[in-house]
Amino acid sequence: MNAPSPVKLTLVTACVILCWAYSPIGIHQALHGYSPGQLALARFLIASLFMAGVALVVRVERPRLRDLPWLLVLGFFGIFLHHLCLNLGQQWVTAAASSVLAQSVPLFSVLVAFFCLKERVSGWRWGCVLLGLVGVLVVMWGEHGLGEVDPRGLMILLAAISWSVYFAIQKHYSHRYSPLTTVCYTVWSGTLLLCVYLPGLPAVVMQAPLPANLAVLVLGVFPSALAYLAWAYVLRHVEVSRASVGLYLVPPVAMVLAATILGERVSMQVVAGGLIVLTSVGAISLEGRWHRPPSKEAVAAGIAGGKDDAGG
């Protein structure tokens, strides 16, 4: 297969950045007509149908029977808990701040590795985690002031922790299935779990304002499905460490979109906190390059660091 041109790869990467940067903006718009749980279900019903269409065209492996429980666990942490917490938290946090807080996933990945997987964590990484948490505090200060922080807004940090656990589990299954197969079954299993919010959803869809329904449609097709496929395409042709650098543009682009579409005023404290968080995340990914070639674990961590589902 001929390698794509640099221009094509750049355009595809730019589309991924734009899709994932739009995610907090779309969530903010959709919450005007949907509850957090119903929004997550509606979004991923659309994504599931989209991924089913892709699966009909591209070969997707059948899961082994023994892996079904773990695929449900992936769906729980990667889709159900992550997006439910993200939607809940964004009721009390601006879209711009949400995009920054969602980038803290690698910081919590270090904590998950230390406390849950009993992995050794270097002093450098502990320093990066502390610096990143300082950045999180600065973002919260820029939102409402530390004395007026709404605890419900901290649900976004729980979403980041959930995403960290998802990547820790996914790392152990990355050698069994292709990335596309893993994404498909994660989306489908997560959507199945979200069906607890199905009662009343049709009525909500009919009553929701048009901008909210359009936001759900865009969220389901672009950040939740198409962006994952585009990102998988980029990773087929570019090293993870190089490709992930571009995803550090997600929060700045999200801030511009939030100011343009939602009319949000982004404070300098949020910008400064975002720079601190991104610096700490970047420093974590740089550590391994100074000492040895990246291992499979480092590559997996790089994928976690690049993602944002943010929100993605």
Whether 1 is covered by a domain: the verdict is no
Contact 159, 85 (CB under 8 A): yes
Whether 138 is covered by a domain: the verdict is yes
Give the range of the structural domain holding residue 11, as residue numbers without chain letter.
6-306
If one counts the domains in the chain, the total is: 1
pLDDT in tens, 51-70: 999 899 988 888 888 889 98
Whether 153 is covered by a domain: the verdict is yes
Whether 311 is covered by a domain: the verdict is no
Burial class for 35, CB neighbours closer than 10 Å (0-12, 13-18, 19+): middle
Whether 179 is covered by a domain: the verdict is yes
pLDDT at 221 over 70: yes
Whether 312 is covered by a domain: the verdict is no
The rounded mean pLDDT for the chain is 83
Split at pLDDT 50, 70, 90, the class of 306 is very low
For residues 170-178, give the mean pLDDT: 74
Whether 89 is covered by a domain: the verdict is yes
Contact 309, 251 (CB under 8 A): no
pLDDT in tens, 123-139: 888 888 888 888 888 88
pLDDT at 121 over 70: yes
- Please list, in sequence order, all residues whose beta carbon lies within 8 angstroms of the beta carbon of residue 263, skipping any fewer than 6 positions away: none
Contact 31, 87 (CB under 8 A): yes
pLDDT in tens, 157-168: 899 899 888 878
